[in-house]
Amino acid sequence: MTAKIIDGKAIAAQVRMRVKERARELFERSGKKTRLAVVMAGDNPASEIYVRNKIKACEEAGIESQSFRLSADASEQKIIELVDKLDSDNLTHGILVQLPLPTGINERRVLERISPRKDVDGFHAVNAGNLMLGNDCLAACTPQGCIELIRSTGINIEGKNAVVVGRSNIVGKPMAMLLLQNNATVTIAHSKTENLASITSRADILVAAVGKKEFITGDMIKPGAVVIDVGMNRHDGKLYGDVKFDEASRVAAFITPVPGGVGPMTIAMLLENTVTAAENA
């Protein structure tokens, strides 16, 4: 079998069109211009690229963006003061604090200062909790993007065995919750799971989010599976997924490439959360 490639760029472009239309309608209806504030501290090169891409994507979707740069030695207090200021600004609908923050800053304390209704990353404990309860909320962007990619294959998620490899607060845990909401039978595995291959090889839907280059090999995949690779592992200037693509694509029915799979979806879903936040404001 040769897997069909899930084109994240094309699917993200559709989401961005849909968002642009919603932002335009909101403006026509209420005069409200959707606005995202992006806060970055320090000079992490990967974060620089992510933030630049997010700002550019906002522009293209007709969303206003403001970016705030703080130095690497900015105190936690200073970051929190900025977040508080943006939080009380009625013209700002979404606030994104780019992670990681410099060492010594308590990320959790900073993230919890963002009002849940402006938390377009879906990282606030209230949003994470509401996601678990199945309530309406701003859910984490990357897992939402993965759901869109799975749906694009036309397979019905309901009743399928879904295995998520990785248990981070940003991807693994919310991913499992969204799959559960879609009535999949969900297993969360991780780097310490014993006999991992015996679990992944039962997955109709496999989401790899462990952050280890080419960790999932072809023999760990069920023939005909949908494989979603969240990995972004840089090695010798090249980007690698968590899945060994060549091997996996000979076994799976559908697979996302790295780059060009999940990556573009994260930004698209951020835009969608931002327009949702503006509509709700």
97 binds ligand GUN per the rule CB under 6 A: yes
Give how far Cα 186 sits from Cα of 133, 134, 157, 178, 179, Å: 16, 15, 11, 10, 7
Nearer to ligand GUN by Cβ, of 15 and 96: the residue is 96
- 121 has catalytic annotation: yes
Give how far Cα 76 sits from Cα of 36, 106, 109, 126, Å: 21, 7, 9, 21
Nearer to ligand GUN by Cβ, of 107 and 279: the residue is 107
Q: Which of 260, 188, 265, 261 is nearest to 227 (CA)?
A: 261
Give the helix ranges, DSSP H, for 4-44.
8-30
Q: How far apart are CA 26 and CA 224, in angstroms?
A: 42
Q: How far is the CB of 251 from ligand GUN (least distance, A)?
A: 29
141 binds ligand GUN per the rule CB under 6 A: yes
Stretch that binds ligand GUN, among 59-67, 91-99, 191-199, 208-216 (CB under 6 A): 91-99
Q: How far apart are CA 189 and CA 208, in angstroms?
A: 10
Q: Which residue out of 7, 20, 32, 54 is catalytically annotated?
A: 54
Nearer to ligand GUN by Cβ, of 5 and 99: the residue is 99
Stretch that binds ligand GUN, among 77-85, 92-100, 125-133, 247-255 (CB under 6 A): 92-100
Q: How far is the CB of 209 from ligand GUN (least distance, A)?
A: 12
Tokens in use for 138?
């701003």
Name residues whose C-beta falls within 8 Å of residue 104's C-beta, 6 or more positions apart in sequence.
76
Amino acid at 203: A
To 10 degrees, what angle do helices 45-60 and 262-280 make?
60
Count of residues of this chain found to bind ligand GUN when the rule CB under 6 A is applied: 7
- 9 has catalytic annotation: no
User: Among residues 65, 200, 266, 274, which is the contact residue for ligand GUN, using CB under 6 A?
Assistant: 266
Amino acid at 236: D
- 98 has catalytic annotation: yes
Q: Which residue out of 121, 204, 229, 242 is catalytically annotated?
A: 121
98 binds ligand GUN per the rule CB under 6 A: yes
120 binds ligand GUN per the rule CB under 6 A: no
19 binds ligand GUN per the rule CB under 6 A: no
Q: Which residues are catalytic?
A: 54, 98, 121
Name the site residues for ligand GUN (rule: CB under 6 A).
96-99, 121, 141, 266
